[in-house]
Structure 1
Amino acid sequence: MEHRVLYDRRWAEDLCSSVRCSGVLLGMLFLIDWLTDNLTWWRGVLWVTLALVLFMVLCPARISAGEGWLASRRLLSTRRVRTDALVSVRCLEGVSRRLVLRDAFGDRVEIDPQVLVNNPDLWFRLDEDARSAAAAGTLMCGTTALRRIAERVERETALSVFRASGLE
């Protein structure tokens, strides 16, 4: 059996969007200061810092998965869980939805569930390992959250097939 690593296919596109948003903000701030004759070196440093902070906030996590694991890599850290030893899966509601995965070794990863919806191959890898964890008795809570994501993935996959075949 082939052991391959799967990645979020939209990550590069999301990264480019983060860079564009930060660059547009920086350009607008410099342009406004230049047009009003208020541009100084310290204001320039302030605007560059502000644009960098915006980039750090918007920069998406790089999600990858392989047999038995899922990782989330951010600018300054990487978190990894053993998906074949999951203990809990929770969906946090709020400003942005987050899926929190915890394994039997105390590791924890938070990801945007939309990443799994956009990447069915990542979802199927996680689902297969979660089923193994449930069969082994380690997955104590989270089947409802996983079922909801499965429904979203199946719905989006079916819609994609209908769009591609012209049956919308």
Structure 2
Amino acid sequence: MERGARPDGTTGDCHWRPDARCAGFCAPGFAGLTLLLDWGSGGLTVARADLWAVLGVLVLIALRPPRVSAGDGWLAVRGLVRERRVCTDALVSVRRDGAIATRLVLRDAYGGSVALDPEILVANPLLWHRLDAGARRSRERGTLRYGVSTLWQLGERIDGGTARDVFRASGLE
């Protein structure tokens, strides 16, 4: 079975678990370090300890990555509270949002919408393949009217990186 593929036929972000684990280590580390520094300075009180604990939880929330998964005809992004899902066979628009931290925003004909970091697709070619196959079906059906060039540019970037990796692994580079 390929990396990122699951026994039920869905595909997930193969980097999610290590990234979530890193966030899980950084947040208590931050809270512990701030508690230790505050205690060392002699200003630690119960209220301040509570503040550092709350800030540690906020760091965890900020650092925890969304969980992206895809199946035949759908793509889902699971955040902290809820999961958003789009039908990739009925995409209406694809656009890039943001100048510095870009997000890929996908909307389908049924009102579903997801936003995800395009780097997740770059790092997970199986997820990209699922999205690309659904987007191709959307184009064939005529529902995808906006963002074809955005998907094409992302596909060129992903396919070019994959080809470079294959050449590098085979010693042809």
TM-score (norm 1): 0.93
Structure 2 residue runs without a partner (length 5+): 1-6
Partners of 1:27 and 1:3 lie apart in 2 by 40
Tell me what 1:127 maps to: 132
Quote the offset at 1:167 in angstroms.
Answer: 4.2
Partners of 2:49 and 2:34 lie apart in 1 by 9
1:75 aligns with 2:84: no
Partners of 2:172 and 2:63 lie apart in 1 by 36
Against the structure 1 CA distance between its residues 3 and 87, is the aligned structure 2 distance closer, same or farther, given a 3 Å change threshold?
farther
Quote the offset at 1:90 in angstroms.
Answer: 0.3
1:34 aligns with 2:53: no
The residue type paired with residue 155 of structure 1 is G
The superposition leaves residues 115-165 of structure 1 with CA deviations (integer Å, 9 ceiling, x where unpaired) of 100000110111011000010010011111101110111122122223323
Structure 1 residue runs without a partner (length 5+): none
Quote the offset at 1:166 in angstroms.
Answer: 3.9
Partners of 1:107 and 1:69 lie apart in 2 by 10
1:18 aligns with 2:23: yes
Partners of 2:35 and 2:155 lie apart in 1 by 46
Answer whether contact 1:3 1:66 (CA < 8 A) is retained: no
Answer whether contact 1:14 1:60 (CA < 8 A) is retained: yes
The 5-angstrom pairing of residues 1-168 of structure 1 reads: 4-168=9-173
Against the structure 1 CA distance between its residues 163 and 24, is the aligned structure 2 distance closer, same or farther, given a 3 Å change threshold?
farther
Against the structure 1 CA distance between its residues 166 and 39, is the aligned structure 2 distance closer, same or farther, given a 3 Å change threshold?
farther
How much identity, in percent, do the aligned residues show? 46
Partners of 1:160 and 1:28 lie apart in 2 by 40
Quote the offset at 1:70 in angstroms.
Answer: 0.3
The superposition leaves residues 60-105 of structure 1 with CA deviations (integer Å, 9 ceiling, x where unpaired) of 1100000110000011111000000000000113331100000001
Against the structure 1 CA distance between its residues 37 and 166, is the aligned structure 2 distance closer, same or farther, given a 3 Å change threshold?
farther
3-state DSSP class of the match of 1:4?
A: coil
Aligned residues: 167
Cα RMSD between the aligned structures? 1.5
3-state DSSP class of the match of 1:154?
A: helix
Partners of 1:84 and 1:3 lie apart in 2 by 20
The residue type paired with residue 148 of structure 1 is Q
Quote the offset at 1:3 in angstroms.
Answer: 6.8
Deviates most, 36-45 or 143-152: 36-45
Moved over 4 A (4+): none
